[in-house]
Structure 1
């Protein structure tokens, strides 16, 4: 009998279903326990599950699964799905769940969401990765469900994190900035943040400064008896962020043929940049005629909302601690390139970025939170839906992520030549403009069936078959599977 196979999504959903069975023990200290579910996939396809408090009050789901249910079984080769980052500290002689996992020699773990509690706060994932475990995050659609079910726990965890955070464990950007006070903030930036976040404050209110301190943009200094901006606060709202952080700038370059537009630096407070960049894009992008309405009107020949989202993501998710590295946008006749310092976080792969299925994980949660309040980004998101729909919504080629130390680069091809440059294969040069347009579906980096290809292109079946054979022979595609279930995927 053939073993049962499950998709990653099915196992993520299974972990959530189990999570919802959690039995939360009563806590006299008022601390809200998390709901946690765990699923263990064995090499032979067998599935076992556990949830918090299943066998005994207060027992963690991973402990129940790995130690209570399978104390003597070899779990090497199993894959673990857990809805919450495994714990790092337990009172002796208890062993934390992250160590139980590595002790069991499990080499692949899917984690639902990060645990903001200061005893964990990313250290569980780091422990797994340091011990050779491949860590992947749940898809964003499942993360939202877990966050909603654990809303009270996550709120308390964030409060505990703020209360116990030690300065020597924080990066320079998280720390308060010496000799700075609220006068270093831009009134324009603060007013814009208040207005677009629909907050009921005035910039001069002491309660507003408390609000900024609540999410990490300021910190109370007991000696000075005043609120002091943190590095993140300076980046978000500072009058001159580059005075403190030299690399806090986005450099923009535009070249069309022999015409070179004057380079521009965007170096104001981060909350001011999205609108400034949008206005600049409207001025520098070539115009084309929009005839969709009764009146013809000039519109930019590339969707500004797509570029805006890409640039905002670069600003939000970049690594601000890499000295001398700056965000850039370069526009020419063939392509638009957005670069951002910092490699993808370990739990996010280039493949996940290029299939536009990257999970929720943020390098700069304080910046992300502020931008999400202003509706500039989905909290912790990457604009994946916007980029994925580029071909369907606008008839444009899909973009591609690449990484070359220390920059993550997102390239938007605009022309046939741009697509050829982006794909970067010699054999692609032989394809015509029409063929490249038909080839676009394979750049989503997922297996495509012949019927999917016919539906996408509108080609006759025999013509589609000819294309598939030619592209396979040229090494542009590889076959996945065989017989009627054969699919095709772009060769990397």
Structure 2
């Protein structure tokens, strides 16, 4: 009898079911342990599972699975599903779970969520990738469940001060900046953070500086007996971030035909930029009449909330270690382009970005954390909900992500005809406006049946069939499956 074939989603759910059996040991220090579940898929379809504390109090799920249950078995070729990023540090002679995984020669790992504890916080994933392990994140729907079940652990993990970091994985912007002190930070930026995050602190309160140090924006200098801002602290709250980081700027350009609007640099503390950028967008975007109420009013002809979200994502998730590369926004008659230095993280694909369902993973967790407290982003995720609404709510085409070293670029077509600017195929020019509008159905990067295309496009069945054939003939979409299970997906 053939072994059962599992889908990735089924194994993600299985790991969560196992996670919920976790037996968390009592901790006299009040530290909340995480709930963790691990599932191992063997090449022949066999499944083995483990959860934290299953066989012995305090034992990690991966340790229980690989060392206590499967110590004498060959795990090469297995696929691991674990609900929490594998740990990086254990007291000798214990081996961290990330190293245990690579020692077992496991070459593919699905990770539920990042471990926000500063001693891990992405370093477990980096270790796996450094050892040529293919890392994928759980789908966002499962990540939300894991986060909810571990909310107390995650809250504590974010509050803990960094005790130890692996030097080979430590980013320069995580390190305290020599000869800097509190005076290098902007009172205006700090006060805005306090107000927006609804914190009960005064900007010159020592407890506030301790709070900033808890999540990595400051660091206590034992010799000088005062707090020193880290690179992240300067980027987020600095008086003049570009004095230390020349690339800490968003450069904005607007061109309408022969008309050019004066370029603008946004280079103040990061926490000040979202509101400044939104005010600028309202000034430079052409106005249209909003007739949704009895009283007409002038509004920008492109939704500023969508562009603000795109720009905030660019600032939050960019690679600040690329010294000469800068964020940019370019606006012209046909399109709006937002560029951000840094390729997508290995666990996130362009396909996932273009479906606007990218899993939760952040290159700069400290910036993401601060912006989430201020309600600028969805914590640890890309938060691209508004991108999905462009076609339905505003009648505008959805945007598209592309990557050309070293920039991740997001292009917003401003009209139906401007879709041609984001499809890298000459055959797109053979479509008229109505055919381009119907083509939007396939630009979600998800497989679509003929019936779904008819429903989404509101076309007659025969018209829809004719269009599908045309799209296929032009190599714009491709066929998946056959018979009743036939679906169509964009052909990138």
TM range (shorter): over 0.9
Cα distance in 2 between the residues matched to 1:75 and 1:222: 46
* CA distance in 2: counterparts of 1:123 and 1:269, whole angstroms: 27
Alpha-carbon distance in 2 for matches of 1:368, 1:115:
14
| Residue in structure 1 matched with residue 40 of structure 2 by the alignment | 40
Aligned residue number for residue 215 of structure 1: 215
Work out whether residues 232 and 367 of structure 2, in 8 Å CA contact, stay in contact via their aligned partners in 1: yes
CA contact (8 A) 1:250 1:265 kept: yes
Report whether the alignment pairs 1:456 with 2:459: no
Aligned-residue Cα RMSD (Å) equals: 2.3
Secondary structure class of the residue paired with 2:382: coil
Partner in structure 2 of residue 472 of structure 1? 472
Rounded to whole Å, the distance in 1 between the matches of 2:204 and 2:91 is 46
1:383 deviates by 2.4
**Aligned-partner SS, 1:24:** coil
Match of 2:429 in 1: 429
1:266 aligned residue: 266
Q: Are the structure 2 counterparts of residues 213 and 56 from structure 1 closer, same or farther at C-alpha, using a change threshold of 3 Å?
A: closer
Distance in 2 (alpha carbons) for counterparts of 1:222 and 1:128: 34
1:6 is displaced (CA, Å) by 3.7
CA distance in 2, matches of 1:373, 1:266: 22
Say which SS state the counterpart of residue 22 (structure 2) adopts. Answer: coil
How far the C-alpha of 1:443 sits from its partner, in A, is: 1.0
Question: Structure 1 length as normaliser, TM-score?
Answer: 0.93
Tell me if structure 2 keeps the 8 A contact 1:12–1:138: yes
Q: Distance in 2 between matches of 1:167 and 1:124?
A: 14
State which drifts further: 183-192 or 268-277. Answer: 183-192
The answer to whether the 8 Å contact 1:14/1:39 transfers is yes
Q: For residues 292 and 448 of structure 1, what CA distance do their matches in structure 2 show?
A: 32
2-structure distance, mates of 1:410, 1:79: 33
Equivalent runs, 1:317-336 vs 2, <5 Å = 317-336=317-336
Partner residue, 1:148: 148
Q: Quick one: structure 1 residues 158 and 282, their matched pair in 2 at CA, closer, same or farther if it must change by over 3 Å? A: closer
Map of 1:8 onto structure 2: 8
> 1:236 and 1:41, CA in 2 relative to 1: closer, same or farther beyond 3 A?
same
Q: Cα 1:174–1:360, aligned 2, differ >3 Å: closer, same or farther?
A: same
Secondary structure in 2 matching 1:263 = strand
Give the 3 Å change call, closer, same or farther, for CA 89–210 of structure 1 in structure 2. Answer: closer
Contact 1:318 1:340 (C-alpha < 8 Å) held by counterparts: yes
The answer to whether the 8 Å contact 2:160/2:215 transfers is: no
Q: CA separation of 1:132/1:148 partners in 2, compared to 1, >3 Å: closer, same or farther? A: same
Residues in 2 aligned to 1:57 and 1:206: alpha-carbon distance in whole angstroms: 39
Structure 1 residues 302-341: aligned runs within 5 Å: 302-341=302-341
Query: Deviation of residue 490 (structure 1)?
Result: 0.9
- Residues 224/309 of structure 1: CA separation in 2 closer, same or farther (3 Å cut): same
- The aligned runs of 1:62-211 (5 Å cut-off) are 62-90=62-90, 94-117=94-117, 120-158=120-158, 162-165=162-165, 170-211=170-211
Q: Is the 8 A contact 1:116 1:161 kept in 2?
A: no
Q: 2 CA distance for matches of 1:210 and 1:59?
A: 32
User: How far apart, in 2, do the equivalents of 1:21 and 1:393 lie?
Assistant: 43
Q: How far does residue 79 in structure 1 lie from its aligned partner after superposition?
A: 2.1
CA distance in 2, matches of 1:98, 1:234: 32
Whether contact under 8 Å (1:310, 1:383) holds in the other structure is: no
**1:453-485 CA deviation, whole Å, 9 max, x = no partner?**
000011111111111111112211111000011
Question: Displacement, 1:92?
Answer: 5.6
Question: Are the aligned partners of 2:119 and 2:163 in contact in 1 as well (CA < 8 Å)?
Answer: no
Assess if the C-alpha contact under 8 Å between 2:328 and 2:338 holds in 1.
Answer: yes
Could you tell me how far 1:210 is from its partner in structure 2?
A: 2.1
Shift of 1:333: 0.9
State the SS of the aligned residue for 1:33: coil
C-alpha displacement of 1:188: 1.8
Moved more, 381-390 or 28-37: 28-37
In the alignment, which residue of structure 2 is the partner of 1:405? 405
Greater displacement, 130-139 / 464-473:
130-139
Higher mean alpha-carbon deviation, 71-80 vs 339-348, is at: 71-80
Cα distance in structure 1, aligned partners of 2:201 and 2:31 = 31
Report the CA distance shift for 1:166/1:470 in structure 2 as closer, same or farther (over 3 A).
Answer: closer
Per-residue deviation at 1:434?
A: 0.6
Equivalent runs, 1:306-385 vs 2, <5 Å? 306-385=306-385
Distance in 2 between residues matched to 1:167 and 1:98, nearest whole Å: 16
Is the CA contact 2:328–2:340 (under 8 Å) kept in the aligned structure 1? Answer: yes
What is the Cα deviation at residue 403 of structure 1?
1.0
1:25·1:53 contact (CA, 8 Å) conserved in 2? yes
Compute the displacement of 1:366 (Å): 1.4
Secondary structure of the residue aligned to 1:345 is coil
Relative distance call for 1:3 and 1:446 in structure 2 (3 A) is farther
Tell me the equivalent position of 2:389: 389
Aligned to 2:418: 418
Q: Normalized against structure 2, the TM-score is what? A: 0.93
